[in-house]
Amino acid sequence: MKSQRGKSVTINHSIPDDVVEQPVPYSEQTARIVRRAILAGNYAPGERLSEVELSKQLGISRSPIREGLRKLADEGLVVIHPGRGAFVAGFDLTEIRQLMEFRQALDVMAAGLAAERASEAQLREMQAALDAGTVAHRGTNGISPPWSTDFHLLVLQAASNPKIFDRGMEVHTQLHLVRFRSGSAVGSAETVHSEHQAILDAIRSGNAMDAEAAMRRHVAQAYDRIAHVVQHGE
């Protein structure tokens, strides 16, 4: 096993700014670096992630590389085929529908719980996230970025249920990859902001049923937009 004690080493493939550092476990750092590379589009769907190559690039043994790839497999970003190795996940329309159905179940439940449990500070943070997103995209072509999850993650947090939050993070991460690969935007910045604002207004009112309904409509419309792009490439 190579020893890198006291030394930082740089990955040379895809993301040169990332480094392996002490004292974070090598497996965690491997997962972080490869996750970022996958979500940035530096690896193609179905591309093999060579343990040998990653070991050379990171200057660490293959054991933590293997553990890091297993973590990414648990997150749904990597598929491990026994005897063949680890590959970047790819999603067809059926799998995307299943992910969106799971996301809807989690996000709708979280919105209802947030209506009952969100603190004033959390409500302010959600509003600030929406306002910041509007300012960030003002003056652009009006298309929201393919990954707009800050608001959704804040809703998951406001539900005050770690189990829902953890599962929600997993499905949102996988859908990040789906949207990046398809080139799918979640809609115009104005449309998405309006849908998010309606969800927040319902949460702020304390009406769980209204919050769930607003979130359900938003996720269903998001799926329709993604499915259209995947099917028609538009």
Structural domain that includes position 35: 9-88
Instruction: Mark whether 116 and 198 lie in a shared domain.
Output: yes
Instruction: Mark whether 65 and 134 lie in a shared domain.
Output: no
Instruction: Mark whether 65 and 155 lie in a shared domain.
Output: no
pLDDT at 225: 79
Instruction: Mark whether 39 and 79 lie in a shared domain.
Output: yes
User: Using 50, 70 and 90 to split pLDDT, how confident is the model at 156?
Assistant: very high
Residue 3 lies in a domain: no
Instruction: Mark whether 22 and 99 lie in a shared domain.
Output: no
Q: What percent of the chain has pLDDT over 90?
A: 53
Give the whole-angstrom CA distance, residue 24 versus residue 22: 5
> pLDDT tens across 14-64, in order?
555 555 556 789 999 999 999 988 888 788 888 999 999 999 999 999 999
Instruction: Mark whether 101 and 79 lie in a shared domain.
Output: no
Q: Which residue, 40, 34, 39, is CA-closest to 55?
A: 34
Residue 203 lies in a domain: yes
Tokens of residue 145, six digits: 């970025």
Instruction: Mark whether 168 and 201 lie in a shared domain.
Output: yes
Final residue of a structural domain among 49, 69, 88: 88
Instruction: Mark whether 104 and 204 lie in a shared domain.
Output: yes
Instruction: Mark whether 105 and 215 lie in a shared domain.
Output: yes
> pLDDT tens across 162-216, in order?
999 999 998 988 887 776 655 445 556 788 889 999 999 999 999 999 999 999 9
> pLDDT tens across 133-150, in order?
755 444 444 434 433 558
Total domains in the chain come to 2
Calculate ∠ Cα 97-116-127, nearest 5°: 75
| Reported pTM | 0.69
CATH of the domain at 174: 1.20.120.530
